[in-house]
Amino acid sequence: MPNTTQHSPACARVHTLALIPLVTFLIASPIAAYAQMTPLAPEVPSRPGAPPAVTIQPPRAAAGLTPAQNLAKSKGMRAHKRGEFAAAIELLRPIAETGDPEAQNAVGEMLTDGKGGVTIDEIEAAAWFRKAAMQGYAPGQVNLGLMLEVGQGVIRDQAEASRWYRRAALDGFAEGQHNLARLYETGKGVPLDIGQAVFWYAKAVNQNFAPSQYAYGLMHRDGIGVPRNPAEALRLFRRAAAQGMTEAREAVEALEQATSTSSH
């Protein structure tokens, strides 16, 4: 599925997280890094501040499924988690067609990853993400935003991507907060605003979201948007490294070495 976790541009060595076959999250969402993707599609003009032309509906609760459908969904989600994607998509596609946003998002992720015998279909994946997003399902909103940001399965539109990230961010979803911060830090789809980047990174950091801990650590290390504070940077890097983030571990080693050298 589209990578919901993208790194801060504050360090040139870091790859921004990716999308579709894009790569793993990191931590939670597997996909590949932007740097390894095909060239970006041209961006479609978008009116500043114009909201996506959709009507958000309340999420459809799984309780609306029949017992047999709930059983199929449970089996499908377990198969998805185990990486048995061919079996998972066969079980979950009918559930997605009933309007269940969790199943819609899962089907979209499998269609973008194209693993385990599932054929990649980015256009269909984007359509499933949009269905889930329109019901207010935050993971679907982030995945749709990632597709829009790079033009995968849809016409590239970073401004609309930012609006879907914002919907997820306002709902308290850490990956939406992180991606919105990243756009503010780079000025993509939104006006460049380091203050807003700091605000949203901090929100995600408070949820122990490793990519934001790393990005926020870079800002403290370099004094971008916040006072330069190597000690705070090191603390944030260590928190991200503890979750398995390679870039954060390398940043810890480099900062500790720099601190040790300067003390002699």
pLDDT tens across 6-43, in order? 444 443 333 333 333 333 333 333 333 322 333 344 44
**Residue 107 domain flag:** yes
Residue owning tokens 């993208």:
6
Q: Which domain holds residue 179?
A: 22-37+64-263
Tell me if 6 is assigned to some domain. no
Residue 45 located in a structural domain: no
Global model pTM greater than 0.95 = no
pLDDT band at 63, cuts 50/70/90?
low
Check residue 19 and report its DSSP letter: -
Amino acid letter, residue 105: N
Residue 125 has what pLDDT? 98
Total domains present in the chain:
1
Q: Are 4 and 139 in contact (CB under 8 A)?
A: yes
**What average pLDDT does the structure give for the chain?**
83
**With 80 as the cut, is the pLDDT of residue 180 above it?**
yes
The DSSP 8-state label assigned to residue 173 in this structure reads -
Residue 261 — very low, low, confident or very high, per pLDDT cuts 50/70/90? confident
For residue 31, the cross-strand partners are 22, 23
**Distance between CA atoms of residues 179 and 169, nearest Å:** 9
Domain membership flag for residue 54:
no
pLDDT digits (tens, 9 = 90+) for 130-149: 999 999 999 999 999 999 99
Residue-wise pLDDT tens digits, 74-94: 999 999 999 999 999 999 999
Residue 50 belongs to some domain of the structure: no
Position 4 in a domain: no
Among the ranges given (25-29, 59-63, 159-163), the one the predictor scored with the smallest mean pLDDT: 25-29
How much of the chain exceeds pLDDT 90, in percent?
73
Domain membership flag for residue 43 = no
123, amino acid identity: I
Sequence-ordered alpha helix ranges (H) in the chain: 67-82, 85-97, 101-113, 122-134, 138-150, 158-170, 174-186, 194-205, 210-222, 230-241, 246-263
Model pLDDT, residue 2: 65
Q: Which DSSP letter does residue 57 get? A: -
Q: What is the CATH number of the domain that holds 95?
A: 1.25.40.10
* Inside any domain, residue 85: yes
| Residue 230, token pair as written in the block | 């190597």
Q: How many residues does the chain have?
A: 264
